[in-house]
Amino acid sequence: MKKILFLIFVSFFVSSCNTKSNQKVTQHFSSEERIDSTNIKSLFNSVLKDGKSYEWLRDLTQNIGGRLSGSPEAAKAVVWGEKLMNTIGLDSVWLQPVMVPHWVRGVKEIARYTTNGIEKNVPICALGFSIATPNVGVLAEVIEVKSLEEAKALGEKMKGKIVFFNRSFDTTLINTFSAYGGCVDQRVQGAAICGAFGAKGVIVRSMTNSVDDFPHTGTMTYNDLPQEQYIPAAAISSKAANILSADLKKNPTLKFYFKQDCKTLQDAPSFNVVGEIRGIETPENIFVVGGHLDSWDLGEGAHDDGTGIVQSLEVAYLFKKNNIRPKNTIRIVFFMNEENGTRGAKKYAELAKLNKENHIGGLESDAGGHTPRGFSIQANASNTKLLQSWKKLLSPYGLHDLKAGGSGADIAPLKGEDVTLVGYRPDSQRYFDYHHTSRDTFDKVNKRELELGSASMASIVYLMDKYLYNNVSVKP
């Protein structure tokens, strides 16, 4: 009997404490914030009970796959996106024509070298917009460098050599996008610099914090080099980069061989896919929510950026499911050609200006489908402060990071003093395991994490629509 009474007392005490705790939290909310809190909770409840994004992503990745601009798969994705937007009942859906680059990889690349009588095959992939090697491939001695500056300092010593850029991620940086930003210049600019000095080719350490055998592709440029100075450029896996670096220390004159068959074709016709829920008070004011429909060709374009596409559309689905009628027009955009040109983003912004559309905000999801962490804010000081004031509404869902920063490549052209742009920021620790590789497949996406991201995006869009009104911040 004593034990039973004790358990009853403990249960009553815990319940009392929880009630008091909840009362304390509620006391910090204004009446409008209580309404907001309830609506945000409904958005999360809806997606976790009846989310659609995961199955949409399965369909996109499994039945279409990688969607490089100009490819037949990208064309199929446009049809898929238009049909899906119509299926969920958006007020209007249309296609925006845009001409996009059309680069093709060709047959699978090969690479190898021999040291101490041992031949080693190297996982390799061509970089986007690179030219092919000659039909017989490229064979040359290797010079290892860690930066563009180090390569420039070599000057004519690069002539006839393959330059190996081997600067790795700074693994001490918690935000892996910062680590990526700290070394991606060698991938983008390496061939332009080395080609000017007569190098025969460039190989680059893959952009990842992992050490594995999956090469990462990505775009590169020749800048203003004359075409006769173009040289082939490729990425090798991070594990292969470590091994090659060690072998070069033992055998500085070893020769590296690689062959690739890629080429750039004429620009191809494509489309942005656009749909919207029309605002009931100021429909002329537009909030854009989107990601990019294209992807690299090695994998299925799951985290980059299939997750962003389906999350963006699920924002509209959640608004409709919860009978949230936005004051302003919420426009969902599947941008084409973010990966190697941002032509879709530029065309969207061009048409917005031509049509004198009034964009007051935007949200982009292009950082993978992992656990939600928050948002980066690209806005004026007062609107940045306003968004940061919503932390108490968002933090119960793990959305603690509300910091000034960039928004996204596709919505950035809409930037303006009174335009509030936001980038969705999930946890970044695993993103560069998959980014631009054959591993970026549907099975790497967690259903719950994906859906939590959709609700997170819907929540901040709900708040932006309510309080960023007519280009004037309105406090709750």
**170 has a pLDDT exceeding 50:** yes
Least confident of 20-29, 288-297, 334-343, 439-448: 20-29
Would the pTM of this model clear 0.85, i.e. be above it?
yes
**19 has a pLDDT exceeding 90:** no
**10 has a pLDDT exceeding 70:** no
**460 has a pLDDT exceeding 50:** yes
**18 has a pLDDT exceeding 60:** no
Secondary structure (H, E, C), the chain: CHHHHHHHHHHHHHHHHHHHHHHHHHHCCCHHHHHHHHHHHHHHHHHHHHCCHHHHHHHHHHHCCCCCCCCHHHHHHHHHHHHHHHHCCCCEEEEEEEEEEEEECCCCCEEEEEECCEEEECCEEECECCCCCCCCCEEEEEEEECCHHHHHHHHHHHCCCEEEECCCCCCCCCCHHHHHHCCCHHHHHHHHHHHCCCCCEEEEECCCCCCCCCCCCCECCCCCCCHHHCCCEEEECHHHHHHHHHHHHHCCCCEEEEECCCEEEEEEEEEEEEEEECCCCEEEEEEEEEEECCCCCCCCCHHHHHHHHHHHHHHHHHHHHCCCCCCEEEEEEEECCCCCCCHHHHHHHHHHHHCCCEEEEEEECCCCCCCEEEEEEECCHHHHHHHHCCHHHHHHHCCCEEEECCCCCCCHHHCCCCCEEEEEEECCCCHHHHCCCCCCCHHHCCHHHHHHHHHHHHHHHHHHHHHEECCEECCC
Which pLDDT tens digit goes with each residue over 372-388? 999 999 999 999 999 99
**474 has a pLDDT exceeding 50:** no
**2 has a pLDDT exceeding 80:** no
**15 has a pLDDT exceeding 90:** no
Which pLDDT tens digit goes with each residue over 183-237? 999 999 999 999 999 999 999 999 999 999 999 999 999 999 999 999 999 999 9
Q: What pLDDT is attached to residue 325?
A: 96
Which pLDDT tens digit goes with each residue over 31-56? 999 999 999 999 999 999 999 999 99
Q: What pLDDT is attached to residue 29?
A: 85
More confident of the two residues 14 and 140: 140
**Mean pLDDT over residues 124-138, rounded?**
98
**Mean pLDDT over residues 87-91, rounded?**
97
**138 has a pLDDT exceeding 70:** yes
**Mean pLDDT over residues 433-455, rounded?**
98
Which pLDDT tens digit goes with each residue over 285-322? 999 999 999 999 999 999 999 999 999 999 999 999 99
**5 has a pLDDT exceeding 60:** no
Q: What pLDDT is attached to residue 28?
A: 79
